[in-house]
Chain A
């Protein structure tokens, strides 16, 4: 017991860093409303990272791209590819939406895994990936819903609502239900995955602080990337679905 406490004492610093507080928020009061300060802070950092790196890399584009520009060109090609496969030939105007969806979620997820947020102490709660908070994921999912409604309505006018009775009017309730399940599944998938990933890493770190959590952390990075891709791809798929003609 003595030995155990000793070894634990030496690793106390690690424990302190790895502590997790689920469902605790750093509340800010704005008027009569409350906001989750930790989510806003991390999202600002993520936005700053994205805008800063994009500005630096794309400021002065070269015909033969430099390393940074090459990377950003690759990312843009990737986003365009995703949008094109899901939306079709009219993907152009949706590249900013899909791309920002992907980049924001991706950088958020990876910031939660890679940036040492725990160094900064908050009075309540702790800094983590912005996608760790249900507000963020629901916000993104609702924006996706708005986006695909907008896409369908601008493309087909009120005829867009004809898809609810396609292929038979019997499916009307299910088609309406889909509009609720889409944002629900989008937001909860992202939220659950990121939160679960961080929890698993924290629990493992608290049990075995060295080496063992590393594969799980790598798996977490992989999952984070996949989740960002899934969210962006599904958003593009929904937009494409509402834009395509129903025959």
Chain B
């Protein structure tokens, strides 16, 4: 800051506070202090009555003295004139900003924002649809269970039916067999009866002969 003040003060002395902007009115050249002859601008150097000594100590002395002497109002004025220098740059910067705003809106904010919103909504949609499928899965599971139940009922019904049918068939067959057996039995019995009668008949005829024989054998004496 001290250097700034000093150099500005010097600038006042040397260039007699010229109001032409392009002329170097105010310059902070801190790094060039050790070798002012190398880097000081020509206009300053040529007109500079207080040519800077290369000794740092004397610089600091001058610096301090100039700080004391420097009228702060003047230094301020110079600073203001160069730092707060409003001109056509201001409206040009405004125009540049507006241009940048519209260009970035066309290139960046609108397309990318739209793209991001669309992606968000599509992701949300997909998420929602996934949630829906969970209920769908449940429904399908229920359906499957119902189908299984129906199938089981059907199968058991078919099983029962088949059981009954086979039982009937079996019973029928048993009945048939029984009838057959009975018929055979009857037949056999009938044939047996017949045989019995036949044998009885034959026996009857034989009985007469036999009894004659027996009588003959038993009663020989009487003869």
Contact = CB atoms under 8 A, between A and B. Distances in A.
B90 A139 contact: yes
A25 B100 contact: no
A24 B82 CA distance: 7
A136 to B, nearest CB: 5
Contact of B86 (A4, A8, A18, A134): A134
Given A22-B4, A54-B104, A35 B89 contact: yes
B31 to A, nearest CB: 4
A99 B27 CA distance: 36
Determine the main DSSP class of A at the interface with B: helix
Given A23-B26, A61-B111, A134 B83 contact: yes
Contact of B107 (A51, A95, A138, A205): A51
A15 B198 CA distance: 159
Interface string A179-201: 00000000000000001000100
Contacts of A124: 22, 24
B86 A25 contact: no
A150 interface: no
A58 B111 contact: yes
A134 B80 CA distance: 11
B64 interface: no
A36 interface: yes
B32 A19 contact: yes
Nearest to B114: A61
Nearest to A22: B28
Given A76-B113, A206-B30, A99 B104 contact: yes
Given A22-B4, A39-B93, A58-B112, A96 B24 contact: no
Given A23-B25, A124-B22, A73 B112 contact: yes
A23 B83 contact: yes
B31 A135 contact: no
B89 to A, nearest CB: 4
Interface string A30-41: 100111100110
A20 B49 CA distance: 23
Interface string B76-87: 001101111111
Given A24-B82, A51-B100, A58-B107, A34 B88 contact: yes
Contacts of B4: 22
A81 interface: no
A215 to B, nearest CB: 20
Contact of A133 (B24, B25, B30, B89): B89
B116 A23 contact: no
A54 B31 CA distance: 39
B24 to A, nearest CB: 6
A153 interface: no
A103 interface: yes
Q: Most A CB atoms within 10 A — which of B32, B82, B100?
A: B100
Contacts of B27: 21-22, 24
Contacts of A73: 112, 116
A139 B88 contact: no
A43 B93 CA distance: 8
A24 B153 CA distance: 99
Given A22-B26, A206-B30, A135 B104 contact: no
B32 A15 contact: yes
A100 interface: yes
A63 B116 CA distance: 9
Given A19-B39, A50-B100, A135-B90, A96 B105 contact: yes
A76 B104 contact: no
Nearest to B93: A139
Given A22-B82, A54-B108, A124-B24, 8 more contacts: A20-B28, A21-B28, A36-B87, A96-B110, A134-B83, A142-B90, A143-B97, A199-B28
7 pairs of A and B residues whose beta carbons are closest in the complex: A23-B82, A15-B31, A135-B89, A139-B93, A33-B88, A206-B31, A96-B105
Interface of B: 4, 21-22, 24-32, 34-35, 38-39, 78-79, 81-94, 96-105, 107-113, 115-116, 119
